[in-house]
Amino acid sequence: MASVPVIPDSYNHVLAELECLDPLLSALRLDSSRLKCTCIDVSKRWLALGSSGGGLNLIQKDGWKQRLFLTHKEGAISQVACCLHDEDYVAVATSQGLVVVWELNQERRGKPERIYVSSEHKGRKVTALCWDTAALRVFVGDHVGKVSAIKINTSKQGKAAATFVMFPVQIITTVDSRVVQLDYLDGRLLISSLTRTYLCDTEREKFWKIGNKERDGEFGACFFPVGKNSGNQQPLIYCARPGSRMWEVNFDGEVQSTHQFKQLLSSPPLPVVTLRQDPHYTGSSCSPQSLSFSKLLYLTEHCVVTWTERGIYIFLPQSLQVLLWSEVKDIQDIAVHKSELFCLHTNGKVVHLSLLLVDRCIERLMRRGFWTLAARVSCLFQNSIVSCRARKNLPLDKLEHLKSQLDASTQQDLTAQLEELIAKLEPLDSACSSRRSSISSHESFSVLDSGIYRVISRRGSQSDEDSCSLHSQTFSEDERLKEFPAHHEDEQLELENVSHASVVVEADRNETFLPFSIPLSFRSPSPLVSLQAVKESVSSFVRKTTEKIGTLHISPESRGKHEAKDDEQLPELTLNPVASPQEEKESEPQNSQLPEEDHLRNLKAATAETIAKLQDPLVLLEPQCMRRVLQEWLVHLEEKFSQEHSALSVKKNKTVCAEEQRAVLEENLQVAPADRDPVDKEQNDILEDCIEKENTAETCVSKSMCESGTDVTVPLGCGFQVSPPCAIEPDVLKDLVELTTLCFELCVFAAGSAEAEESSEGSLPPAASGTLACRFMQSYFFLLDLKRVKQRIITMCASSPDVWETYIAGLKEITCHSPVALAMESEDMLKILKLLHDLGPWDNSPLLLAHAQRLYEKFGETALRPLIKFHPSLLPSDIKQLCRNDPAHFLAYLDSLVKSKPEDKRPFLLRSLLQPESVRLDWLCLAVSHDAPQRANTVDEEGNPRPRSHLFTWGYSQLILLLIKLPADFVMKEKMADICKSHGFWPGYLFLCLELDRRTEAFTNIVHLDDLSLLNGEDGSIPETIEEWKFVLHLAQNHSTASHQHSPQNGIAVSNRGLSCPDCITVENVALLLAKAIGPNRALPLLQECGLTLELSERFTGVCEILRIAEKRQRALIQSMLERCDRFLWSQQA
């Protein structure tokens, strides 16, 4: 028997044609030379086939029973699209460019009717149709790149609405070339043209180009929806690229990576399972394929399907794998629904293929009675069948039955191959057989649509021998544990919600299935009671130490979730360095709550009274009255939450908490040193690290402030109070935050002292006021609205850098245990930025500032440019504070932020950032003083421009021009003009002179710059009156004389007649410009009046003569055209 090549076990999917549609096409008369199928689409219910005769055939897929036939007199059907979310609608494009939308009225058993006909693309070839995934809207693309949207008004809303309300066609965009493919998902429209792919937000009317590199040819693109279990992960986009490549793009249109499939496609093609021919597999590799994927379609279970003239290709792009590729020739188009593929060939034939697991394919073939084909497929894919652990669809008895259906006399080779396969599946080793039966008895499994077998084990992770010997004891223990099902589940859920739940749960799982005859030092006579006691004690320990040791065992994904929760709760709820008040409240006895309420009773009353006073207009509109009211209230706040009182209470709580934690572990985890479990050792180490961490927590802020150079006169051992020292009701906390923040904004930092009165009145020097502000923030950081405090510091405390440093130190204290802070120890900035991005969205959270400060301190200017992705959560004013010691770094960030937007959006962005307006002058001074030419090269000794100095390169010229050209008042423009002149930025100075109507000054500087191109009409710098022309001519005469006198010294030969430098400003060049502007006949008398005719050469005379001839011919042409129009109008009247 000759050996037959078998397919490797890595391939477990196959394309199968289980139903032949040729009889259907014959019944529809779509198999003739005169009439054939031209387009195809499929939905859950319908198979839609458009024909060259203008008919649309709708076939019900369930049994291929019902048929609807829709006729069109507008030409052949070129495109068809079924509405997937409401299958009562279908859109059709004809060869004349008309788009017709049909309502099938299947629910009311009525006749199909046209409800919309669009002629927007009439005379063009419609190349793509796509339905909205939620609304009744159709997107249309044609061969010139025009994309429109048709909104449908359904008759289901009432006949009157459908008859009298017709929404106009909306033009989405016009791209640069033919539309190849359209796709839509969650408010985003994907447009793939011959050169590039575009992403459109149809709700906000925003457009993005995907990638920077163009392409030339038909390349598709599609959305890649995420699975149901992917959480908040956004969909992806895949765009075809030349050379068998794909771009992986996020939902915002940013290219994440490029996938190369060229080498992976060197594998041999898999056969298509069909009754037309026997499946054949060569086994020999082919050369790598460099292909162009004309369309990309999303297939079920994270697959993308495409095709070429050679075959069909199915990829798993997320894992960079080729699921399979099969040779199928001459494919014109493919429509997919779930795992079904309907292939339209160039000859009009339609083939129905299904993507199936090999065992499911064999099972379906056997069900239909195709025994020979099922046996051949089994033999070809025997490696996949043998290596498959779960054979739910293809057990041994089915294979035996398949062998019995073969003809032993005529199919000897096939029968022998099948016998070999069965022998591989059923070894003669009884031990292996018993092991397999043991697995089947202890495990259940289910087969997912993707082919993955999910095994659900009902036993522990012991070896086979241990599991066999302990099975009876384990089963009895399971029965005893069923007496407390609810309690066990609650404990399990509780353990899963903590940071090191994986350790505890794994330990519990192993303990549950251990034989209880093994002596353990901490096990009581009743195993169940012991187990529950250990769970309760460990759970209590976990609840109290989650905040401290969570970062030691937490996964990166879980870190992101915890950090996101912390960000959402601020500023009202902040990260507590010790156990949270709610947890301590639960652990304390019930009667301990009454003294706490009495403790805050006076503060609550004072807060309510203060809020009532502040609502009085006489107080609210008078800042001094507000300050006095707040000072009176601040006395009560200091009594309850002073720094010294909080420090003592926090220290006491930490000590009690640490003692309780150690007592819990020592009581429940007492084991001999030799028999100690690794999990117990790990927990004990965690406890020691936790206590050591608590002992050093009080000084972490002071150390960080000392390292950053903060000079605040407060006790070094006095840290930030970032969490309430006791439980505070949410409503009370909200009022306290409002009043405390108002105190900071009005500089009410202390109560009942002369220093406090001076600070509130503003009479204290900035240094002293800044010191009080720092102390105030340290004491009441947990009661401050961090966003408002930041804005106050930026606008009013610019002269006190210590205040900003203290604010940043407080934010660092809050985020000291975040995953980003821990990741700072590594040198991988990109990894830190990705982690920071994954923790978003930040929604303007001030905590992002702390992470940005850490990045800047570690990586310097390199870390600032990537931070533009976090705008507007990070504003330029924040970055300016971070790098105030090096303004050049801020300037680089600002320039990168502005350039990250399209050119038409940059002025709007910059205008939104100029808050307050005065920062424009600061930014302009920075831009003209960094990466700029030397002033001596642009300005001479007399303060005039040096010739051609406006052509120097300025590093931030685009930013400077944007700042200058934004709307501003007269005073602001004068200040900006002075800045530009003092630094020699002449393009901006000339623009501002024209804006301020200082035209004489502008012309003077243009002549000094000696560039004739500046005297043009594009920006209004050309002279407009005769007086201005005379002024410019005299300036040119004086400039030419001065240049001629100094030319031997400079080594530049400048001719007065302008022959050697046609772009220089000379009398003759200005005279020629005058002749072109007002005509030679008017220019010559003006030059004679100024006495400048002697300065002109024969060249001027020749040019003027040419201008006269051109003017004469132009007048003659206009006269001739007018006479013809006149004759035509008279002939029409006659």
Q: What secondary structure does DSSP assign to 452-514, as a single string?
A: -EEEEE-S-S--HHHHHHTHHHHHHHHHHHTTSHHHHHHHHHHHHTSTTHHHHHHHHHHHHTS
Q: What is the mean pLDDT of residues 573-591?
A: 37
Helix (H, G, I), strand (E, B) or coil at 789: helix
Q: What pLDDT sits at residue 647?
A: 45
Give the whole-angstrom CA distance, residue 921 versus residue 976: 7
Residue 576 phi/psi, 5° resolution? -95, 125
Cβ neighbours, 10 Å, residue 743: 25
Query: Coil, strand or helix: which one is 307?
Result: strand
Which range among 73-87, 306-320, 603-617 shows the weakest confidence by mean pLDDT? 603-617
The Cα–Cα gap between 8 and 1077 comes to 82
Query: What sign has the CA pseudo-torsion 775, 780, 786, 792?
Result: negative
For the range 611-616, what are the long-range contacts, defined as Cβ-Cβ under 8 Å and sequence gap of 24 or more? 611/735, 611/738, 611/739, 614/742
Long-range contacts (CB closer than 8 Å, 24 or more residues apart) made by 166-172: 166/116, 169/118, 169/120, 171/120, 171/146, 171/147, 172/139, 172/147, 172/148, 172/200, 172/202
Helix/strand/coil percent split, the chain, to 5: 50, 15, 35
pLDDT at 803: 87
Q: Which of 77, 79, 83 is nearest to 30 (CA)?
A: 77
In 376-463 the beta strands, taken as DSSP E runs, fall at 443-447, 453-457
> At 389, phi and psi to the nearest 5?
-75, -35
> Residue 519 — pLDDT band, cuts 50, 70, 90?
very low
Which residue's entry shows tokens 């040193």? Answer: 673
Q: What is the pLDDT of residue 166?
A: 64
Closest CA relative to residue 385, chosen from 459, 453, 475: 453
Are 306 and 296 in contact, with CB atoms under 8 Å apart? yes
Q: What residues contact residue 88 under an 8 Å CB cut-off, 6+ apart?
A: 103, 104, 105, 106, 107
Mean pLDDT of 1061-1074: 80
pLDDT of residue 975: 93
Average pLDDT over residues 110-130: 92
Strands 297-299 and 255-260: unpaired
Residue pLDDT, tens place only, 815-873: 888 888 888 877 778 888 888 888 877 877 888 888 888 888 888 888 888 888 888 88
Tokens 């309760």 map to which residue? 536
Place of tokens 């200091």: 638
At 1048 the pLDDT is 41
Question: Does residue 459 surpass a pLDDT of 60?
Answer: no
**Residue-level pLDDT at 199:** 94
Q: What is the mean pLDDT of the chain?
A: 75
Whole-angstrom distance, CA of residue 39 vs CA of residue 469: 65
**pLDDT score of 336 more than 90:** yes
Give yes or no for residue 652 having a pLDDT over 50. no
Tell me the C-alpha to C-alpha distance, in Å, between residue 918 and each of 801, 884, 976.
20, 17, 11
Select the more confidently predicted residue: 404 or 762: 404
If we measure between CA atoms, which residue out of 641, 626, 637, 646 comes closest to residue 603?
Answer: 637
Look at residue 639 in the predicted model and tell me its pLDDT.
82
Two tokens at 666? 């020592």
pLDDT digits (tens, 9 = 90+) for 857-907: 888 888 888 888 888 888 888 888 888 888 888 888 899 899 888 888 888
Confidence label for 386 from pLDDT (cuts 50, 70 and 90): confident
Per cent of the chain over pLDDT 70 is 71
Tokens of 197: 């792919």
Q: Does residue 715 register a pLDDT over 60?
A: no
* 1038, containing H or E segment: helix 1026-1050
pLDDT, tens digit (0-9, with 9 covering 90-100), for 744-762: 888 888 765 555 555 555 5
Tokens of 632: 């009176």
Q: Which amino acid is at 629?
A: V
**117/97 Cα distance (integer angstroms):** 11
Region 193-215: mean pLDDT is: 90
- As a whole number of angstroms, the distance between CA 83 and CA 1036 comes to 72
Q: What Å distances lie between residue 858 and 809, 837, 897, 903, CA to CA? A: 16, 18, 21, 33
pLDDT digits (tens, 9 = 90+) for 223-251: 999 776 666 788 999 999 999 999 999 99
pLDDT at 46: 92
Measured from the Cβ of residue 669, the count of other Cβ atoms closer than 10 Å reads 21
